Structures are given as structure tokens and as C-alpha cells.
Structure 1
Amino acid sequence: MIVWINGTFGAGKTSTARELIGLLPGSTLFDPERVGEGLLRLLPPERRAEVADYQDLPGWRRLVVETAAALLAEAGGVLVVPMTLLRQEYRDEIFGGLAARRITVRHVLLAPEETILRRRIATREEPGDTAAADLRVRQWAYDHIPAYQQALDWLKGDAHVVDNGALSVRETAEKIAEAVRTEAAGVCDIVQTPEPTRETVASGVLLFDDADRVLLVDPTYKAGWEFPGGVVEPGEAPACAGVREVAEELGVELAGMPGLLVVDWEPPAPPAYGGLRLLFDGGRLAAAEAARLRLPGPELRAWRFVTETEAARLLPPVRYERLRWALRARERGRPLYLEAGRPTP
């Protein structure tokens, strides 16, 4: 099990985590910041110069999952992780990766009032650092307060909130330990999707509203929006897999087999294996049908109909290219074969 202590810079995560491992028997401290620092040191200087925040490195997010899994395999018990996560898509990617390894996460948010937070930042000193370095750290913390405020809506919905503004470090740790023991800090409700061990075949289904906008869904277990659909099971026809996934994910029973729009070969990009990705045309959903859409809590967070332009802002680039060509195929009335999101000559 992991107790993930979230909060903006200066909220008291690390000091609370150090205190907490003394209160939770068999617990170990894991600070992903060390992973980020090590990864930056290993990068070539020209690549390092391009990185403003190591959290933006996909390699860091993968290493956090792998390192946490390795530590739990070695030490067992509880892993206490003090780490700021303000971008929901990074939370999804990391927590989803942990869930795929059957590692449960209890997410705790330290949320002191802003005036108290700013007072703490103003007096914060880093051991061994110069006054100039302390100033840089404080400014970094101040600069991230707006991003933290913007993230509060989803953070408070996802995490057990502890207002530690009037609490000592010890009292904060005791409050978290009690929440873990009583399960007031519950296990994050996130679907377990086993990591692929080879190439996969996956089917997505495009559903349209009366304005010809396409339906996208927001998974809880990986970054970015997606099409309704999923991995084709052994012995299952791809179109049938699409129909099954739409019923499971949205509660929509398609009247017939959807028509093929694109077949896209996604090349391996280690550690991902790639495989075949198919998109089908599921037709139009009437307004009454769209109003009855339901989402499975652990798997999908939200849905929305979007234009092609809006989809470009929500989908990762390779998925957007797949959608773009699927829409062209729909207009032309014939399916397309793609490789890495591009039609072959």
C-alpha cells in the first residue's frame, strides 16, 4: 500500500512523511524528488537544458511507478510518498500504473489556508543552502500557488483533505495515521489494467451527436482523453470488442456492428509494445440517448462531445491523428490504413 501525501510546495509534505513512518508500522519513506534529481543528472546537457520541471518527463513518471513497486517488493509494508502532483493527467498515469501492479494508493492532501502557506514559504530555509538558493526555492513555491489553486477542485474530490494550517508536524502525521487506520483516507477508486506483455489489438468506437461532434471519454488510469473502447480479448472479433466496450463503459447498446474507419499500426515505443488500433463508426446518438450516458466510476471520470478542433487540445498527438484520419475516412466512405497515425503511400 502507498500513502501518497500531496499538497503544494511548502505545505509540509516531507516533514510530515518523516514523522508518519514512525506511526505506521513497517512503513518506508520514498521521495520521488530523488528520482527526478537523478534522472536530470543522467540526461545529456542539451536535453537537460530543455527541461523546466522533471515531472514533465515521461521517464520520471514511469520510474516513480517502477521504483515504488521495487521498494514495496523489497521492503513490503507501507510506502509513504511525499510528492506534489497538481496535474490530473500525471496523477492518472502514475496511480494507474500502480493500480496495474495491484498496488493500492491512499491519497492525502495537505491543504493549509493560503495566508498560512505563504507565511511558511517566507520563513522556509533549505539545510546547507545559501541565502540566494533559499530565495530561489521560495520563489519556486510562490510561483506554483496559482497552479495549486486551479487544481484544488479535482484534488479535493480525489484525496482525503487535511487542513494542517493550525497543526504541528506531529499532529498532522497523527491525523493521517488515524485516517489510514480507520480508512477515512480510502483507497483510490481506479481500475486495474494489467500492463501489456506484448503487442495488443484495441478497438475504439466513434459516436456522434446531432451536431456531428465526436464523443471522448476521460480515463482515470492514464493521461489524456480517449475514444470509448479497449483491448480486444483473446478469440474476440475487433468490432464485437468495440460494441462490448461501449456497452460496459457508457451503457449504450449499439443496434448493429459498427463500420470500420481506420486500422492504425502503432509501432513499439519502449516500454510500450504498440500493436493494432482500430476505430469504428458507431453512428449518431440522439439527444435522449446522450442524456442517459453513464460512466463506471473507477474507469472513466467524464465524457463530452467535441469538435475536431477541440479534440486536438484533449487527445495526445497520436490519438488525435488517428481521429483526424478516421473523420476523413467517414467523409469519403472508405476505411484507411495508417501507420503511426499517418496514411501509407
Structure 2
Amino acid sequence: MIVWLNGAFGAGKTAAARELVDFMPGSTFYDPELVGNGLRMMLPRKRLEQVSDYQDLPSWRRLVVDTGAALIAEVGGPLVVPMTVLRQEYRDEIFGGFAARRIPVRHVLLHTDETILRKRIAEREEIPGDAHASESVRQWCLAHLAPYRAALTWLTADAHVVDTTGLTPRQTAEHIADAVRGGAGSCDIVQTPEPTAETLAAGVLLFDEEDRVLLVDPTYKPGWEFPGGVVEPGEPPMCAGVREVTEELGVRLDEPLRLLVADWERPQPPGYGGLRLLFDGGKLSTEAAREVLLPGSELRGWRFVTETEAAALLPPVRLSRLRWALRAREQGRPLYLEAGVPTGCPSPADRRGATESAAT
């Protein structure tokens, strides 16, 4: 089990985590900041200059999960993890990675009044012999108070909240231990095993009366997605798409689906890639949309979006796949893609449509 202590810088996560180990027999303190420090020493300066925070490095997010899983295999027992994570897509990636390894996560938010936070930051212990570095750290912590306030909406909905304003680290740890023993902070995330080979996946595009496309927000990986999933062994891909729409949205599709694109996704270690199919599931009536039911352990939300709005939600490869699928739907013929791009020589209409979409 992972007990993840989240909160603003200065909330007392590290001090509480060290105390919490005493209240949870067999537990181990695990600080992902050490992973970030290691990457700072290993990665080229040019790469480090491209990010403002090591959490923005995909390698950090993956190594946090891999290291945590390795520690649990080595020592057993819970891991107590003090780490601020304010971006929900990073939470999804990390917690989803643990879920894929069958490691449950308890998410606890240590919340402190901002006046107290600012006081604690101002009184941070000096770095011996380096006043400039000490001030730099304080300014960095202060700069992250606004992002913390902005993240509180999703944090308080996702985590068990412990108000540490008037608590000592030991009292905070005692509160956390009692809450965890009572099952608080449990993150019910679908356990999607990581693939061990290329996969075949089927997605379905559903449209509303305004021709906007339906996207869903998974709890176990970053970015929005199309309804759909991996085709099971021996299962027809179209049937897999229909099954996934029923399981994910509670919507039953009675008409046959029409293939829009077949996109070969190249392997990019540690991923294996595979073939991604997108089908046209037709229009979803207003009445049917009202009946959409989401599995809370897998999806947290859904919405109809325009192609332009989708650009802010979908990762680049999925966005390219969507844009070509919309072109295929307009032209009434399927397209074959490789890494989100049609192979061969696209027709002038194809090129014009994709260029116009990219421009918007």
C-alpha cells in the first residue's frame, strides 16, 4: 500500500511522514524527491533546462512508480510518501501506475491555513553557508501557493483532508494513521495492467446534435480519451468498441459501427504500441446523453467538444487521430494512419482538411 501525503510546501508532509512510520508497523519512508535529485545528476543539462520542475519529466513520474513498486517488493509493508502533486494529470499517471501493479493508494491531503504556511516558509531552516539558495527555496515555495489554491478543488474531492493548522507533526501522523486504518483516502482506480506486447484497441466516436464529439476523462492515465479500450483475445474489434461503450457509458449501440481510421502506433519504450481503430458510433440523442453513467474507478467525467476544444484535452497523437477520423467521416471512407499520419500520398482534400484543422 502507498500512503501518499499531499499538500502545499510548508504543510508539514515530510515531518508528519517520518512520524507516521512509527504509527504504521512495517512501513517505510519513501521520498520521491530523491528520484528527482538523481535525474538532475543523470540527465543532460539541455533536457533539464526544458522543464521548470522535475515533475514535468516523464522519466520522473515513471521512476516514482517503478521505484515504489521495487521498494514494496524488497521490504514489504506500506510506503509513506510525502510529495506535493498539484497537477491532476500527474496524479492520474502516478496513481494509475501503482494501480496497474496492484498496489493500492491512500491519498491524504495535509491542509494548512495560508497565513501559517507563509510563516513556516519564512522560518525555513537555512541551508548552511548558502543564504542565496535558502532565499531561492523560500521564493519557490511561495510561488507555488497560488497553484495549490487552484488545485484545491480536485484535491479535496480526491483525497482525505487533514487540517494541520493547529497540529504538531506527531499529532498529524496520529490523525493520518487513524484515518488510513478506517479506510479513508482510498483511491478506487481501475487496475489496467501494463501491456507486455503490442495491443489492438478500439475506440468509438459518439456525436451530439451539434456534431461535437464525446470525450472521457480517465482516472488512471493523463489526458482525455475516446470511449473504448483494448480488444480481448478472439474478440472482433467492432464488438469490443460496442462493449466498451456499454461498460464505460452505460450506452447500448444497436447499429453496426463504421470504421473511420486504423492507426498504427509505433513502439516507444517503455510502451509497445500497436493498432488503434476508431469507429463512428453515430449520434447520441439528448435523452441518451442524460442517461450516461460513468464507472467511478475508471472515468471521472465526460463532455461533448468541438475539434478546437479537443486540442486542449487530447495528447498530440490522439488529437491527430481524431482530426483524420473527422476527415474520414466527412468523406465517407476510412483512412489508414501510421503514428497519426496517413501513409502514401493523401488526396488534396485530405491535406487541405488536416492543414485547416491544425491552423485552428
Category of TM-score, reference length = shorter chain: over 0.9
Q: Distance in 2 between matches of 1:150 and 1:9?
A: 14
> 1:279 is matched by which residue type in structure 2?
L
Q: Percent identity of the aligned residues?
A: 71
Map of 1:83-232 to 2, 5 A cutoff?
Answer: 83-128=83-128, 130-183=130-183, 185-232=184-231
Query: 1:126 and 1:241, CA in 2 relative to 1: closer, same or farther beyond 3 A?
Result: farther
Query: What SS class does the counterpart of residue 23 from structure 2 fall into?
Result: coil
For residue 128 of structure 1, report the CA deviation from its aligned partner.
3.0
Q: Distance in 1 between matches of 2:21 and 2:71?
A: 15
For residue 182 of structure 1, report the CA deviation from its aligned partner.
2.1
Q: Distance in 1 between matches of 2:204 and 2:33?
A: 39
Residues paired across the two proteins, number:
344
Query: What SS class does the counterpart of residue 52 from structure 2 fall into?
Result: coil
> 1:70 is matched by which residue type in structure 2?
A
> 1:317 is matched by which residue type in structure 2?
P
For residue 127 of structure 1, report the CA deviation from its aligned partner.
4.7
Asked if 1 retains the 8 angstrom alpha-carbon contact of 2:248 and 2:295, the reply is yes
Q: Distance in 2 between matches of 1:88 and 1:186?
A: 16
Segments of 5+ residues of structure 1 without an aligned counterpart are: none
Between 129-138 and 305-314, the greater mean CA deviation after superposition? 129-138
Q: Which residue does 1:262 correspond to in 2?
A: 261
Q: Distance in 1 between matches of 2:185 and 2:20?
A: 17
Asked if 1 retains the 8 angstrom alpha-carbon contact of 2:2 and 2:78, the reply is yes
Q: Distance in 2 between matches of 1:123 and 1:288?
A: 58
Q: Which residue does 1:300 correspond to in 2?
A: 299
Query: 1:301 and 1:160, CA in 2 relative to 1: closer, same or farther beyond 3 A?
Result: same
Query: What SS class does the counterpart of residue 313 from structure 1 fall into?
Result: coil
Superposed CA deviations along residues 53-93 of structure 1, whole A, max 9, x for unmatched, are 11011111100000000000000001000000100000000
> 2:93 is matched by which residue type in structure 1?
E
User: Does 1:17 pair with 2:13?
Assistant: no
Q: Distance in 2 between matches of 1:290 and 1:49?
A: 45
Asked if 1 retains the 8 angstrom alpha-carbon contact of 2:263 and 2:277, the reply is yes
Q: Which residue does 1:283 correspond to in 2?
A: 282
Between 300-309 and 20-29, the greater mean CA deviation after superposition? 20-29
For residue 129 of structure 1, report the CA deviation from its aligned partner.
5.7
Superposed CA deviations along residues 100-140 of structure 1, whole A, max 9, x for unmatched, are 00000000000011111111111112553622111111111
Q: Distance in 2 between matches of 1:112 and 1:153?
A: 15
Query: What SS class does the counterpart of residue 298 from structure 1 fall into?
Result: coil
For residue 37 of structure 1, report the CA deviation from its aligned partner.
1.1
Query: What SS class does the counterpart of residue 318 from structure 2 fall into?
Result: helix
Asked if 2 retains the 8 angstrom alpha-carbon contact of 1:264 and 1:277, the reply is yes
> 2:290 is matched by which residue type in structure 1?
A
Q: Distance in 1 between matches of 2:177 and 2:232?
A: 41
Q: Distance in 2 between matches of 1:174 and 1:208?
A: 50
Q: Which residue does 1:48 correspond to in 2?
A: 48
Q: Distance in 2 between matches of 1:49 and 1:287?
A: 48
> 2:267 is matched by which residue type in structure 1?
P
Q: Which residue does 2:2 correspond to in 1?
A: 2
Asked if 1 retains the 8 angstrom alpha-carbon contact of 2:26 and 2:77, the reply is yes
Asked if 2 retains the 8 angstrom alpha-carbon contact of 1:240 and 1:257, the reply is no
Q: Distance in 2 between matches of 1:6 and 1:223?
A: 18
Between 126-135 and 213-222, the greater mean CA deviation after superposition? 126-135
Asked if 2 retains the 8 angstrom alpha-carbon contact of 1:258 and 1:281, the reply is yes
For residue 51 of structure 1, report the CA deviation from its aligned partner.
2.2
Map of 1:231-270 to 2, 5 A cutoff?
Answer: 231-270=230-269
Map of 1:327-338 to 2, 5 A cutoff?
Answer: 327-338=326-337
Query: What SS class does the counterpart of residue 202 from structure 1 fall into?
Result: strand
Query: What SS class does the counterpart of residue 312 from structure 2 fall into?
Result: helix
Q: Distance in 2 between matches of 1:192 and 1:294?
A: 19
For residue 8 of structure 1, report the CA deviation from its aligned partner.
1.2
Q: Which residue does 1:325 correspond to in 2?
A: 324
Superposed CA deviations along residues 19-59 of structure 1, whole A, max 9, x for unmatched, are 11111100101100110110121011221222211101111
For residue 223 of structure 1, report the CA deviation from its aligned partner.
0.3
Query: What SS class does the counterpart of residue 69 from structure 2 fall into?
Result: helix
Query: 1:126 and 1:158, CA in 2 relative to 1: closer, same or farther beyond 3 A?
Result: farther
Q: Distance in 2 between matches of 1:169 and 1:274?
A: 46
Query: 1:174 and 1:323, CA in 2 relative to 1: closer, same or farther beyond 3 A?
Result: same
Query: 1:190 and 1:126, CA in 2 relative to 1: closer, same or farther beyond 3 A?
Result: farther
Superposed CA deviations along residues 244-285 of structure 1, whole A, max 9, x for unmatched, are 000000010001221000000000010000000000000001
Q: Distance in 1 between matches of 2:289 and 2:180?
A: 39
Q: Distance in 2 between matches of 1:126 and 1:79?
A: 29
For residue 186 of structure 1, report the CA deviation from its aligned partner.
3.6
Segments of 5+ residues of structure 2 without an aligned counterpart are: 345-360
Q: Distance in 1 between matches of 2:49 and 2:278?
A: 39
